[in-house]
């Protein structure tokens, strides 16, 4: 009888370890401003006596970890986060007691940078105008200059967006493959343990 109880408890523990409650962590918008409010979401399968989760943000370059909240209610499936980390590339990690579940990468930028860039544009434009010229620009000339500036800005920014998108897709694919391999390994290990115990007791 005692062997049967022990085996039942052990199998329950193995099942709890293998089948995690959090399925995946959704990736925030590809670009997030420092100081913005972001809603982090994830998939969740309800279980009894669920412990709180630990939500962290990890620097994709240095791997330094910042704990966002060490007592997250997993059943809520969401958490509102005020971004308070420096500019850079990051990804999220949510530990449900069975290991970390990761999001894809996203970029954090300083909200003050775009404003400074816009303020410096008129200076560079006026510098290209001959100093000794007294001819005033007409409305049509101003429109052409504005259109040219916007076109150059769009052409300059396009490669950066493409690189961020490519990096995000590659990082997400690698992390998903690693998670799938880890879960398969845990299931195989659990089945081996179950077979060993059943052969021993029965």
pLDDT of 48 > 90? The answer is: no
Q: In what order do the strands lie in the sheet with 78-82?
A: 22-25, 37-44, 78-82
| Candidate ranges 3-12, 36-45, 152-161; pick with highest mean pLDDT | 36-45
Reported as a single tens digit per residue, the pLDDT across 11-27 is: 555 544 444 578 899 99
- Residue 57 contacts residue 108 (beta carbons within 8 Å): no
pLDDT of 198 > 70? The answer is: yes
Domain ranges of the chain: 2-114+145-201
Burial of 24 (0-12, 13-18, 19+ CB in 10 A): middle
Reported as a single tens digit per residue, the pLDDT across 127-148 is: 444 444 444 445 555 545 555 5
Mean pLDDT of the chain: 71
Determine the distance from the C-alpha atom of residue 95 to the mean position of all C-alpha atoms in its chain, rounded to a whole number: 14
Kindly tell me the number of DSSP H helices and DSSP E strands found in the chain. 3, 8
- Residue 60 contacts residue 105 (beta carbons within 8 Å): yes
> Mean pLDDT across the stretch 27-39?
92
pLDDT band of residue 76 (cuts 50, 70, 90) is very high
Helical spans, DSSP H, in the chain: 2-18, 113-127, 139-201
- Residue 89 contacts residue 69 (beta carbons within 8 Å): no
> Mean pLDDT across the stretch 94-110?
93
Q: What's this model's pTM, rounded to 2 decimal places?
A: 0.50
Cα distance between residue 90 and residue 64, in whole Å: 10
Locate 148 and state its tokens: 């040219």
Concatenate the DSSP letters of all residues of 112-127 into one string: THHHHHHHHHHHHHHH
What CATH code is assigned to 2-114+145-201?
A: 2.60.40.10
Cα distance between residue 94 and residue 35, in whole Å: 21
Reported as a single tens digit per residue, the pLDDT across 145-179 is: 555 555 454 444 444 434 444 454 455 555 655 55
- Residue 38 contacts residue 115 (beta carbons within 8 Å): no
Determine the distance from the C-alpha atom of residue 94 to the mean position of all C-alpha atoms in its chain, rounded to a whole number: 10
> Mean pLDDT across the stretch 66-77?
94
């Amino acid at each position: 009888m005692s062997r049967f109880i022990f085996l039942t408890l052990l199998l329950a523990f193995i099942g709890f370890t293998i089948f995690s409650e959090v399925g995946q962590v959704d990736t925030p918008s590809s670009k997030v401003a420092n100081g913005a409010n972001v809603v982090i979401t994830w998939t969740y399968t309800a279980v009894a006596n669920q412990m709180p989760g630990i939500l962290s943000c990890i620097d994709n370059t240095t791997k330094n970890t910042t704990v966002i909240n060490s007592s997250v209610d997993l059943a809520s499936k969401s958490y509102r986060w005020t971004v308070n980390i420096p500019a850079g590339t990051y990804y999220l990690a949510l530990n449900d007691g069975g290991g970390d579940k990761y999001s894809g990468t996203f970029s954090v930028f300083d909200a003050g940078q775009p404003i400074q860039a816009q303020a410096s544009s008129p200076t560079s434009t006026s510098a290209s105008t001959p100093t000794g010229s007294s001819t005033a620009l007409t409305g049509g000339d101003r429109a052409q200059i504005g259109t040219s500036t916007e076109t150059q800005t769009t052409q300059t920014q396009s490669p950066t967006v493409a690189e961020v998108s490519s990096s995000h897709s590659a990082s997400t694919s690698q992390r998903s493959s690693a998670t799938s391999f880890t879960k398969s390994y845990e299931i195989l290990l659990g089945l081996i343990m179950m077979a060993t115990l059943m052969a021993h007791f029965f």
